[in-house]
Amino acid sequence: MEGNKLLAALCYFSVFFAPFLFPIIVYFVTKHERVKEHAKKSLLSHLIPIAIAMAAFGLFFIFAIVGIDGWIGLPFIGVVVGGIVHVVVIVWNIIKGIQVIQEAGGVYE
């Protein structure tokens, strides 16, 4: 297995060890366009759960400031939805990493 393919797959698998740092470093260090594309996609997929958590907490604070009744359960709903999304993103990253490893080698040379 060539190094570029492994590097592209590690961008997806980095959700377990360095979700933001590794894809950013790979994106700026590598010169291979296909690896840069995978680094960007994996970074965006790692940011999805953070964006959802920020949106849920933002809604919580907006509802608290405005005084809308029934906002007490929003943090719990946000945690549940965020957890589900996080699990889906982890599974998606594993699938994409395996697909990159199984791809034909011609595009990474």
Instruction: State pLDDT tens for residues 39-60.
Output: 999 999 989 888 887 887 787 7
CA dist., res. 85 & res. 63, Å (int): 23
Provide the pLDDT for residue 83.
86
- Return the ∠ at Cα 82 (arms to 77 and 88), rounded to 5°: 130
**Pick from 95, 76, 73: nearest CA to 84:** 76
Report yes or no: 27 and 43 within 8 Å, Cβ to Cβ: yes
Provide the pLDDT for residue 63.
73
Q: Quick check: 1 pLDDT over 80?
A: no
Q: How far is CA 102 from CA 23, 80, 96, in A?
A: 20, 33, 10
CA dist., res. 5 & res. 66, Å (int): 51
Find the mean pLDDT for residues 91-102.
Answer: 93
Q: Quick check: 96 pLDDT over 80?
A: yes
Provide the pLDDT for residue 39.
93
Q: Tell me the pTM.
A: 0.79
